[in-house]
Amino acid sequence: MALFVGTLMVFAFYDAFAKTMVAVHSPVVVNLSRYVLMCGLAGFWLVQLLWGGGTSKAALLQAVRQPALWLRSASIATVGTCFMGALVTMPLAEATAIYFTAPLLMVALSSRWLGESVNRAQWVAVWLGFAGMLLIVRPGGSLPLLGTVLMAISALCYAVFQLLTRQLAGQIPAPVQYAHMAGVCLAVTAVATVVVWPQRWPNAVEWGILILGALASCGGQLLILAAYKRVAASTLAPLNYLQLMLAVAISAWWFGLVPDALTLAGTALIAAAGVYLAWSRR
């Protein structure tokens, strides 16, 4: 449990760090620093799997041919691109709250995608979460339209990513999924960098700061793996919404932006709906 709470703290810190960095650097530059490091970690993990006999080259090639694996990696690459793009104009607390509608969207999609039964109480939770998002967004309100749309796309794509992860569980080894995801994310970011060429590139010191932030992000991924080895995912799932409270606190402390009462009410609705879903599954 402590490892998982540590994970949430690292992820909340990285989101605030990314919000600070995109005010100075292009979002594609921030993503490049993270995905280059992820590819290095993924390559090391994949080589260990191949040399250790955990999988064969033939099995690896067969896995790579699966369309679902490509869609999974493309979904998370879209998440990274849209999330960073949205942070340029979106306040951190509101952006995080919209992003946390992903588990609710996953429930809404799972009935058709995976053929899972979704009962009436779960649908009520989904609609409560949607109402919470409307309280935050408030069409015609002060939140930037482009940033809001990008964050909503990010949440939807993350829900698809989670559904595909569940679909591929047990079929493709985790290191293969991770390495494929890292490679596709880096490729998408490289293309985005060429299309939207940054007007300013970081100097050596700034690259060092970006790499340190990327190390924190990768460290969070390792922490979450360590936590899931010790405690069931269903037990840890309700704790995810601590990150929402952390985002509100960091937004107020780091950026001096305190969400208004309606935004806090919407955030609480999303968190309550998500915790209910996780707890009922547990």
| Residues 167/170/174/179 CA torsion (nearest 10 deg) | -60
Angstrom distance (rounded) from CA 195 to CA 202: 18
- The pTM for the full model equals 0.84
What burial class does residue 248 get, using C-beta atoms within 10 Å of its C-beta: 0-12 exposed, 13-18 middle, 19+ buried?
buried
Q: What's the pLDDT tens digit per position in 34-59? A: 999 999 988 888 888 888 777 777 87
Q: How many domains does the chain have?
A: 1
Residue with the larger pLDDT of the pair 194 and 134:
194
Condensed to tens digits (0 to 9), the pLDDT of residues 200-228 reads 999 999 999 999 999 998 888 888 878 87
Average pLDDT over the chain reads 86
Lowest mean pLDDT segment, chosen from 19-33, 53-67, 150-164:
53-67
* pLDDT of 280 above 70: no
Over residues 136-144, mean pLDDT? 77
Q: Which domain holds residue 159?
A: 2-281
Size of the chain, expressed as the number of residues it contains: 282
